Chains A and B, each alone.
Chain A
Amino acid sequence: MMEFLRMGGEAAYVWSAYGITLAVVLFNAWWARWTHQQALERARASLSETRTLKTPTVRQVE
């Protein structure tokens, strides 16, 4: 196992390359999730805004 992790003395190169790539994939997955949730939240906010606008004021009801 230690032999595998040492990568023939090239561990710093091999593992950092794999680590950076993993980080890029994870970042993109997180980014997609985050932007999707932000978009849904903004859509919800704009919906409640139109609801507030549509609610008649006291004067309008009278």
Chain B
Amino acid sequence: MRLPRWFHLLGSPPFVYGLAGRLVPWLRAIAIVLLLVGAYWGLAVAPPDRVQGEVYRILFLHPQVAYISMMAYVVMAVSAGIGFIWRIKLAHAVAVTAAPIGTTFTACALATGAIWGRPTWGTFWQWTDPRIMSETLLLFLFLGYLALRAAFDDRDKADRVSAILAVVGVVNVPIIHYSVIWWNSLHQGPSFMKLDKPSIAPEMLTPFLIMIAAFTVCFYWLLLNGLRGQIVERERDTRWVKQLVGGREA
């Protein structure tokens, strides 16, 4: 089977560096517009909740941030796996770029959840809540991945060893998602990601969906943005990077 040309180009660092450079301004602009519209809609237009009052407005970002934290892990694990199996260095670069983004978004999901939990559940933290615990495990998987990489001086070895941790840890992602169904939890069951109609009022569902789109675009903006630095770092001694930084003799 012959693979299309663009597929091969996606493995070429200078091509991806240039492509990311062209996409980043667009993704940034779309992310900022969507985030502003979604935040305005969620904070000012959507009506207060009958039970939770105004504090429910945190739910226009907490689930979205948590969803990005899981997506960041899946992106990290899949690209680390691709890098490990087919020895594609660019795939490892994607995994390494996704890791700090995922770490900060996971911490943010836990923090915003705690802030929302205090007035709603009466507690910042609940050690027996399976979703809080599996999300905390996700944070430690990200931190473990970064710490493991830092333990190696040789980048190739760090790529290979950390890829194994990333791929093994991906089993935690469906656990986070299904934890509210499998176990009794303070968290509510799914209200949007389910087969029948979403159980959210339309005037609240619209900003909820806008924020999902906003954070998704935001994630890919941050990922491609970070990937550019990672590519330059890994390709430092190549001809094209030397040309890029102004070397004539390269």
Q: Residues of A with Cβ closer than 8 Å to B?
A: 4, 7-10, 13-14, 16-18, 20-21, 24-25, 27-29, 31-33, 35-40, 42-44, 46-47, 51, 54
Contacts and interface: CB of A to CB of B under 8 A. Distances in A.
Interface stretch (B5-13, B75-83, B113-121, B140-148): B113-121
Contacts of B221: 29
Contacts of A29: 28, 221-222, 225
Contacts of A35: 226, 229-230, 233
B149 interface: no
Given A10-B119, A18-B61, A24-B108, A40 B222 contact: no
A32 B111 contact: no
Contacts of A33: 225
Contacts, number: 112
A46 B72 CA distance: 32
Contacts of B44: 4
A43 B61 contact: no
Contacts of A10: 53-55, 119
Given A17-B62, A21-B61, A43-B244, A36 B229 contact: yes
Given A14-B54, A31-B226, A35-B226, A43 B62 contact: no
B27 to A, nearest CB: 11
B101 interface: yes
Contacts of B136: none
B237 interface: yes
Given A13-B116, A20-B111, A47-B250, A28 B230 contact: no
B193 interface: no
Contacts of A36: 225-226, 228-229, 232
B104 A28 contact: yes
A32 B54 contact: no
Contact of A44 (B100, B116, B118, B246): B246
A44 to B, nearest CB: 5
B212 interface: no
A32 B58 contact: no
A31 B226 CA distance: 8
Given A21-B61, A21-B65, A13 B55 contact: yes
B135 to A, nearest CB: 15
Interface in B44-65: 44, 48, 53-55, 57-58, 61-62, 65
Contact of B218 (A9, A20, A25, A37): A25
Given A7-B57, A17-B112, A31 B100 contact: yes
15 contacts: A9-B54, A13-B55, A17-B62, A17-B116, A18-B58, A21-B65, A29-B28, A31-B100, A31-B226, A32-B228, A36-B226, A36-B228, A40-B232, A43-B242, A46-B237
